[in-house]
Structure 1
């Protein structure tokens, strides 16, 4: 089942915060730039591995120009708060050397971290990836990023240590998810995303 990049998905966080999740578009450059500016220095460092204050315009252009096949990008935005430029975003790039794997990355606004945003975005990326024949998501996590490492570990991802970071690999097989809070939360979100996909196919039929 293919994803329709023109459709928006409506979700709520556990605390009731209403979100819309949709694919990133070229016209999103300004709000993505502002969302980046609002990140704490630590969040910027964990995402880009450098102490940058401004995003390179070329990188913004790249982020905002996904083809939704080899470069997939989704964003979560608050449904009722226009003053919040972005709640979170996630993307993956299919590996040139292995078309069944993709490198994944996440960014969540500081005030929304720890509230399930990354899990929601991972569920969307998971189903989108599977629809494209991708079976594994790999991530590069700095040694200092203890929270991200713990999350991947709780989901059942494998780790391989490198000099500065860990290479994590998550197989997109729901039966392999750990039987814990992280695994249960992801399973619940996967069920919601699949329901949206089924609704989309019914509408098309």
Structure 2
């Protein structure tokens, strides 16, 4: 019996993942059936938070970070480079919209938690599209990107969203890109301490996550 318990413990692997609520709900959670069908021996604990956790203090085993790629002494694996695109449900913008026409739409906006990153906004998008002077206070504002994505799916308006976070809906045709102009986003990376005892499990998870984010989705 003792041998059996030891064998079970050795085959059961647990890792805690720190991600933003938007990344958890838009990328990881919908794909969990895929993960567990291929990695039944691994159990994931998903900590959805905007807080920058301290991996060296054991607050998580691996984290997904969004930024310019500077992660200090942590091991980092690039997952995907992002871009921001205007999206809406198909019935809202059949055939696409011009920048001028977009100004007449209800535009959905979210507030960046870290303004120093200089993330894409509707104001920057309008300037790049040759239509400056846009007042972002006219947008419907949300505190979280996942809420913007859900509002877009519910047909509330047009959202400027991460192509990574809405890839599944674009593949399914539930959302469409309503204008060809995109703004460069930042980079998604997975990070962990270099001496983590569960490194093999972490690398296995990161390899799965990178394939998920870079390949076609039909979730």
TM interval, shorter chain, is under 0.3
Structure with higher RCO (Cα < 8 A, 6+ apart): 2
Larger Rg: 2
Q: TM-score, normalised by structure 2?
A: 0.23
Q: TM-score, normalised by structure 1?
A: 0.24
